[in-house]
Amino acid sequence: MVEPKADSKSTAVMGTYNRFPLSLVKGRGCWVWDDQNRRHLDAVAGIATCTLGHSDRVLRRALTRQLRTLQHVSNLYQIPEQEQLAQWLVANSCADSVFFCNSGAEANEAAIKLARKHGHQRRGIDRPVIITASASFHGRTLAAVSATGQPRYHQGFEPMVEGFEFFPYNDGDAFEQLLMQLEHNGPKVAAVLIEPLQGEGGVNPGDPAVMQRIRKLCSERDILLIFDEVQVGMGRTGTLWGYQQLGVTPDALTLAKGLGGGHVIGALLVSEHADVFEPGDHASTFGGNPFACRAGLTVASELQRRDLLKNVQMRGQQLQDGLNHLVERYPDHLAGCRGWGLLQGLVLRDTCGYSAADVVKAALEEQLLLVPAGAAVVRMVPPLVIGPREIQSLLTRLDRALQHLM
Ligand SMILES: *Cc1c(COP(=O)(O)O)cnc(C)c1O
């Protein structure tokens, strides 16, 4: 035993998070228990991560078996589980090959490197630029946070990585204007990196017409269109991929959150024509190890076996109907709701007198876990296995939480 230092604070964990005074110790399905043995309905799911809910029996068994067989080896060798998961992703998406890493930020870092190499090699650009959207979120590592169009994430960490330009999300005219301005004296832009629906930035669905226009402008110039599907990928929206909601096919996409059902994995998926990586260009020690890929493979097969896309569509509709009903009942407080499938946001009015964080705190009292998406949007991202009675319970608890604030 290490004796605690006499002057130690109550926590030895670095203070990078604002944490709720809630300590979670157990989970099952859509429910989690705190250290007082109180049960909470979990509409956060590790932020859109625990696809199959907590402690899923099939995932538990598959991972236990994997731990007994082989947990980790180096990418110096062939890894059958990695090959299998890559095969599944390729067979079920627009992509032709996959690079595995460990998080959303890392997947975007890989995408940024791919984009820059494409810019140098295919478009002959000296200092390639990547266009991203304002209010976007791409992760916290230095290049990913530089790509993030929210100044509050940059403050204190300047200088940012150069080579990112921003345009207002869903503004096709502004995009075209920026692109033309950048490309005025010859090729300058390597890629566009964009979320099909902005999660962190306020549950903002992409406009299909704008995305199709961006797709066309990129195709005309051999600029890569890269979708950050870290939050929306793997069935969250009712289709396997977010790009299917928009009728737009990207050249590459990044995944992480839902892919491992709560286990650590990220991925960059690319189409053959966009794959400029060669041996030695990129690597990860842990990326795509047998354990992580077994988690991904199990989530993938359970999505199909349990027909979870159908469940997301039905439960998403039920959730959206219920939220719209709340909006009708409290028109002075709620501005509306928006989202796709089981990624929904309840939008507060500026004038309601409380913030999304206040709603999240009030919901805690009702033993409902929610997460803000910006100052005025309450985000709901429950496990994809959620049932009709649990959606009803979510709505009842949310209603009571709102009444406490009114
Ligand atoms: C969460 C998120 C990330 C960052 O993922 P991490 O695993 O936290 O690095 C990147 N992009 C989007 C769209 C996200 O929602």
Distance in angstroms (rounded) separating the CA atoms of residues 63 and 293: 10
Amino acid at 396: T
80 vs 60, 271, 298, 364, CA distance in Å?
A: 20, 22, 14, 43
Residue 248: how many other CB atoms lie within 10 Å: 23
Which atom of ligand 1 has the smallest separation from the CA of 257? 7
Three-point CA angle 349, 355, 357, nearest 5°:
140
Q: Does this model's pTM top 0.95?
A: yes
Q: Is 194 in the pocket of ligand 1 (CB under 6 A)?
A: no
Residue 81: what pLDDT? 98
Residue 8: what pLDDT? 54
pLDDT tens by residue, the chain, 406 residues: 556 555 556 899 999 999 999 999 999 999 999 999 999 999 999 999 999 999 999 999 999 999 999 999 999 999 999 999 999 999 999 999 999 999 999 999 999 999 999 999 999 999 999 999 999 999 999 999 999 999 999 999 999 999 999 999 999 999 999 999 999 999 999 999 999 999 999 999 999 999 999 999 999 999 999 999 999 999 999 999 999 999 999 999 999 999 999 999 999 999 999 999 999 999 999 999 999 999 999 999 999 999 999 999 999 999 999 999 999 999 999 999 999 999 999 999 999 999 999 999 999 999 999 999 999 999 999 999 999 999 999 999 999 999 999 9
Distance in angstroms (rounded) separating the CA atoms of residues 188 and 124: 9
pLDDT tens per residue, range 362-385: 999 999 999 999 999 999 999 999
Distance in angstroms (rounded) separating the CA atoms of residues 175 and 173: 5
Which atom of ligand 1 has the smallest separation from the CA of 106? 9
Cβ burial of 364 (10 Å; 0-12, 13-18, 19+) is middle
Distance in angstroms (rounded) separating the CA atoms of residues 113 and 284: 14
Q: What's the DSSP call for residue 54?
A: B
- The closest residue, in CA terms, to atom 5 on ligand 1 is 104
Distance in angstroms (rounded) separating the CA atoms of residues 332 and 348: 9
**CA 351–ligand 1 middle distance (angstroms):** 30
Q: Which fold has domain 59-305?
A: Aspartate Aminotransferase; domain 2 (3.40.640)
Which atom of ligand 1 has the smallest separation from the CA of 199? 15
Which residues of the chain does CATH 3.90.1150.10 include?
A: 24-56+307-405
Residue 2: what pLDDT? 55
- The closest residue, in CA terms, to atom 15 on ligand 1 is 231
Q: Is 299 in the pocket of ligand 1 (CB under 6 A)?
A: no
DSSP 240-258: SSTHHHHT---SEEEE-GG
Distance in angstroms (rounded) separating the CA atoms of residues 300 and 104: 18
Do residues 124 and 222 make contact, with C-beta atoms less than 8 angstroms apart?
Answer: no
What does the block give as tokens for 169? 């999300």
CATH 3.90.1150.10 fits 24-56+307-405, yes or no: yes
Q: Is 138 in the pocket of ligand 1 (CB under 6 A)?
A: yes
Instruction: Identify whether 159 is preceded by a cis peptide bond (ω within 30 of 0).
Output: yes
| Nearest Cα residue to 39 out of 53, 49, 25 | 25
Q: What's the DSSP call for residue 207?
A: P
Let me know how long the chain is. 406
- The closest residue, in CA terms, to atom 10 on ligand 1 is 138
Cβ burial of 314 (10 Å; 0-12, 13-18, 19+) is middle
**CA 154–ligand 1 middle distance (angstroms):** 16
Do residues 187 and 218 make contact, with C-beta atoms less than 8 angstroms apart?
Answer: no
Residue 3: what pLDDT? 60
Which atom of ligand 1 has the smallest separation from the CA of 47? 1
Which residues of the chain does CATH 3.40.640.10 include?
A: 59-305
Residue 140: how many other CB atoms lie within 10 Å: 14
Residue 332: what pLDDT? 97
Residue 311: what pLDDT? 98
Do residues 363 and 393 make contact, with C-beta atoms less than 8 angstroms apart?
Answer: no
Which atom of ligand 1 has the smallest separation from the CA of 198? 13
**CA 44–ligand 1 middle distance (angstroms):** 14
**CA 230–ligand 1 middle distance (angstroms):** 6
Q: Is 104 in the pocket of ligand 1 (CB under 6 A)?
A: yes
